[in-house]
Chain A
Amino acid sequence: MVSEYRIQGETGEWEVVIGLEVHAQITSKAKLFSGASTEFGSEPNCNVSLVDAAMPGMLPVVNGECIRQAVRTGLALNAQINLWSRFDRKNYFYADLPQGYQISQLYHPIVGEGAIDVPLDEKDPDGEVKTIGIERLHVEQDAGKLMHDQHPTMSYVDLNRSGVALMEIVSRPDMGSPAEAAAYVRKLRSILRYVGSCDGNMEQGSMRADVNVSVRKPGGELGTRTETKNVNSMRFIQQVVETEARRQVDLIEDGGTVVQETRLFDPDKGETRSMRSKEDAHDYRYFPDPDLLPVELTEEFVAEARASLPELPDAKRHRYEQELGLSAYNAAVLTAEAETARWFEALLTESAAAQKASEADVAKPAANWLISELFGALNRLGKNLDESPVSHEHGAELLALVADGTLSGTLAKQVFEIMLETGDAPAEIVEEKGLKQTSDTGAIETVIADILAANADKVEEYRGGKDKLFGFFVGQTMKAMAGKANPQVVNELLRKALDG
């Protein structure tokens, strides 16, 4: 399906063709080829083994967990798992690359062709999707980091990241707009986080993208592409596509030609600039790393990896819609992040238990409360779900109190506010503050009688046909009962007293 995104040039409309190479750090305690820790934020050069520093005579030994995670990710991307893959050396000199080569997989990646479906309108998850092809996924080492701000004339090197395992996930050039590119990365990130193979943290550099962009006249021959390296946020990915496509269109229309080159994105200026052209491109002299044996996987290993996969976001969303009866939008919101779905499912289980009902019966109020109440509150507090002051146990308890009539909607909101502040259990709050709803007809009738007596004129008006006054009586009754009266009972008794 063709994207409708177009760049308006002087010579007419231009189509944009986008391919992404996403580098995702594999979640693993140890690096790809050494036992060193991968902890983020350690002091410089504290997570460095002899292997990572490329001391003489040191040898890489592949970390099986990283291989397993790559296979699980490949399976989640509906991709071909290659039972035979191999590591190659990519040779170049740089101070952040101690070995003088990066161990990567050029010729025989561990994962081959796959595809994921990306919704074109994220507000309408059941609407049109676009299938984005995955060309390959391979495993490689990360480099270290240069620090230029430590000394007036020298650069320092931090090797903590050196040797950390990355997956490079290469898409087909199947995206046609900045929004599609962002939607693809968002979907990919969601899948990786579900699988648990990458934390998807773009700020910490756990996930970053090389953005390949070219332009062409609609339906025409593919143009020459440029590659903008290391783009580390969804917003920047979109900006890179926009500015780079615009730059290319302007260049071509001014009579120039796009050169195949590597570019860098400057987020401050919002523009890309040339890093090196094809002519200066490295000859990486890839060849099989003789220190490592080929990675040979058994069918059993792959089957176990498959069995270890959690329910993935699309499947989960469908189940929420079909089995729990949630709206497509709610289902999409609740399944976009693995953490949200986990939280929701815990809430669901506890709600069903507390109300002695089925999950399907309690799902809608639980989803509504989570999305409108808790998310709203967390947003206000600037907190993530995992920092929520309200636990899912307490959430379930609150929902149960509403369901059994102990709390009205209004009271529930009050209790919830207190829960947010104190983290106390709702039942305790209800008890302590006496916020329990009353359905005691005797008490309510007494109050109603007083109110009708005190407002005889309004009673007359009402009975004379001014129906709207009913709301007034409800309000007065509720106010007199400090909001604790069961509104349904109040309605019934008022009708009886007024219309009787």
Chain B
Amino acid sequence: MANITDLGVAEIRDGFRAKDFSAREVAGAFNDAVAGAEALNCFIVTTPEKALEAADAADSALAAGTAGPLAGVPLGIKDLFCTKGVQSTAASHILEGFTPTYESTVSGKLLEAGAGMLGKLNMDQFAMGSSNETSYFGNVVSPWRRNDGGNTPMSPGGSSGGTSSAIAAHIVPAATGTDTGGSIRQPAAFTGICGMKPTYGRCSRWGIVAFASSLDQAGPMARSVKDCAILLEAMAGYDPKDSTSLDEPVPSWETALSGDLTGKKIGIPKEYRVDNMPEEIDALWKQGTEWLKDAGAEIVEVSLPHTKYALPAYYIIAPAEASANLARYDGVRYGLRELPDGANLQDMYAATRAAGFGEEVKRRIMIGTYVLSAGFYDAYYTQAQKVRTLIVRDFDNAWAQCDYLLTPTAPSAAFGLGDLSDDPIAMYLNDVFTVPSSLAGLPAIAVPGGLDKQGLPLGLQVIGKALDEQGVFNAGLALEERAGFSARAEKWW
């Protein structure tokens, strides 16, 4: 039998039910893998005892015939999710030591389904970043390295970089991510795994530390499309505690998975050919088109004319919302409090927030504050909202011609840690292909397509219509089946 830690969600679930192994064995194997991968810095907190506890419960439940759909499967949980009794920091100093008395709806649903928790995954601070370098708890390192023989530590992408790195390193079978402008899809592409951002409102945001409320969505990350489908089924669903959650039934995505795209039309948006995009990404995109044709789909060129305004609009809307969402971290009720001698309330706010937030978070709070300020609001915020409406319209028009869109996931392969950290604009450009569908609230999946010359993974993205997660999974599956991506990072940690 294969090494347990090489198994994905479906395989663990099925093997556990077939009694090939116990849940406790699975949890133990992953706990060991986690403990042995400290060099990757994937976790802020590990919870081996929680994983074992859930495993024991799963083993008993199986014996009693009451095992849930995810019984026996241990998962990583991104640190943006509040987890009851376990420190939840959003990788920030300001929330260091904060232990919620409540469980986020999404992580709660996973635990309810029988999953266990291996720990809280590192990430960019408050989900702001594309490289995992903004974490207060140190950057995550990707298990991948260039094939140049050098040992340059590579970025796992971000913000769900602890998640992507841990999955790629096989120290967790799957984990939760969150995506605001690409935070699931870009790290998935950087590490050769799958990541699904569902339709905005599919997953409850309740208990997830808010970054940009109108964009934030939780989603699954795993090593296969099928595993993503299984996880999303458990994560999704209407939650009356989140006014923006969708009151829609959750289909059985796993059951209806099919890579046959006969009769489907795939749109290739011409505006996604950006300057300076590596030739290999363009080549992979063409290859992906061929794969989907092979799966029975018809290919059409479509236009999303406002694409170039998406990134600037995103970097107005998301910081604007963040500037208000992060106002609650003020040192008054929980988390860090800096109280210099003789400080008054304003001094305490200033000192606490200066010490508690990282540079990127401060930058976005300042951008957000600026674009909402009197005299600038219309020029920035109002304008950005108009752009958002146009982006939505672009997609609506595209759906008149096709069922899904195929694009690269990111404009480059993973970069070395530190390569872009002095250039926020270059960093923001990482989201160029993922941001438009975020602004439109559409489901999109990242699927690994191959390796570039440096031996680093490249990903393809399928974007679908609102609520058509099934179609997105199916197109993703068609790509996955044909890409046959089996490369994995050689263990160095």
Which residues does A use to contact B, with CB under 8 Å?
50, 53-62, 89, 91, 93-95, 98-101, 155, 157, 283, 285-287, 289-293
Contact = CB atoms under 8 A, between A and B. Distances in A.
A57 B324 CA distance: 13
A99 B214 contact: no
B242 A290 contact: no
A55 B102 contact: yes
B292 interface: no
Given A57-B210, A287-B324, A291-B213, A62 B373 contact: no
B80 to A, nearest CB: 8
A351 B361 CA distance: 72
B209 A101 contact: no
Contacts of A56: 82, 88, 90, 95, 98, 100, 209-210, 328, 334
Nearest to B374: A283
Given A59-B206, A59-B242, A283-B373, A50 B102 contact: yes
Most buried by A among B101, B327, B374: B327
A100 B328 contact: yes
A283 B369 CA distance: 10
Interface in B355-414: 369, 372-374, 377, 381
A290 B328 contact: no
B321 A290 contact: yes
A155 B101 CA distance: 25
A157 B334 CA distance: 13
Interface string B174-212: 000000000000000000000000000000011111101
B39 interface: no
Interface of B: 81-82, 88, 90, 95, 98, 100-102, 104, 205-210, 212-214, 240-244, 320-321, 323-324, 326-328, 330, 332-334, 345-346, 349, 369, 372-374, 377, 381
Given A285-B372, A290-B213, 15 more contacts: A56-B90, A56-B334, A57-B100, A58-B206, A58-B207, A62-B243, A95-B330, A100-B324, A101-B324, A283-B374, A290-B321, A291-B210, A291-B213, A291-B244, A292-B244
A101 B210 CA distance: 14
A290 B385 CA distance: 12
Main secondary structure of the interface of B (DSSP, over half): loop
A287 B212 CA distance: 13
Contacts of B82: 55-57
B243 A61 contact: yes
5 contacts: A56-B90, A58-B207, A94-B345, A95-B332, A100-B327
Given A56-B95, A287-B320, A291-B243, A95 B327 contact: no
Nearest to A89: B324
Contacts of A285: 323-324, 369, 372-374, 377
B374 to A, nearest CB: 5
Contact of A57 (B208, B212, B332, B377): B208
B328 A99 contact: yes
Nearest to A100: B327
Contacts of B210: 56-57, 291
Closest 7 CB pairs of A and B: A100-B327, A285-B372, A290-B214, A290-B213, A54-B328, A57-B207, A56-B209
B210 to A, nearest CB: 7
Contacts of A291: 210, 213, 243-244
A58 B327 CA distance: 13
B372 A287 contact: yes
A55 B206 CA distance: 11
B100 to A, nearest CB: 7
B273 to A, nearest CB: 32
B130 to A, nearest CB: 22
Contact of B241 (A61, A99, A293): A61
B123 to A, nearest CB: 14
A98 B243 contact: no
Contacts of B212: 290
Contacts of B81: 57
B205 A57 contact: yes
B327 A101 contact: yes
A283 B332 CA distance: 22
Contacts of B349: 93
A12 B90 CA distance: 66
Nearest to B328: A54
B370 to A, nearest CB: 9
B327 A91 contact: yes
Nearest to B245: A59
Nearest to A283: B374
A476 B339 CA distance: 88
B382 to A, nearest CB: 9
B328 A59 contact: no
A293 B244 contact: yes
Nearest to B326: A100
Contacts of A53: 333
A416 B323 CA distance: 67
A32 B121 CA distance: 35
Contacts of A290: 212-214, 244, 321
Contacts of B377: 285, 287
Contacts of A289: 213
A290 B213 CA distance: 6
A61 B240 contact: yes
Contacts of A283: 373-374
Name which of B82, B214, B332, B374 has the most chain A CB atoms within 10 A of its CB.
Answer: B332
Contacts of B88: 56
A55 B104 contact: no
A283 B375 CA distance: 10
A262 B256 CA distance: 63
B3 to A, nearest CB: 36
B310 to A, nearest CB: 17
A58 B209 CA distance: 8
Contacts of B373: 283, 285
Contacts of A287: 320-321, 324, 372, 377, 381
Nearest to B349: A93
Contacts of A54: 328, 333
Contacts of B95: 56
Contacts of B101: 50
B372 A91 contact: yes
B345 A95 contact: yes
Nearest to B208: A57
B326 to A, nearest CB: 8
B243 A60 contact: yes
A56 B84 CA distance: 12
Contacts of B90: 56
A57 B203 CA distance: 13
Nearest to B240: A61
B237 to A, nearest CB: 15
A93 B205 contact: no
A207 to B, nearest CB: 28
A347 to B, nearest CB: 46
Contacts of A157: 332
A98 B329 CA distance: 9
A362 B208 CA distance: 65
B243 to A, nearest CB: 5
A50 B102 CA distance: 9
Contacts of B372: 91, 285-287
Contacts of B243: 59-62, 291-293
A53 B349 CA distance: 17
Contacts of B206: 57-59
Contact of B328 (A61, A98, A155, A292): A98
A147 B244 CA distance: 36
A352 to B, nearest CB: 49
A129 B205 CA distance: 53
A155 B327 CA distance: 20
Nearest to B350: A93
A34 B6 CA distance: 45
Contacts of A55: 82, 100, 102, 333-334
Contacts of B98: 56
A151 B333 CA distance: 17
Residue in A53, A57, A95 with the greatest tally of chain B CB atoms within 10 Å: A57
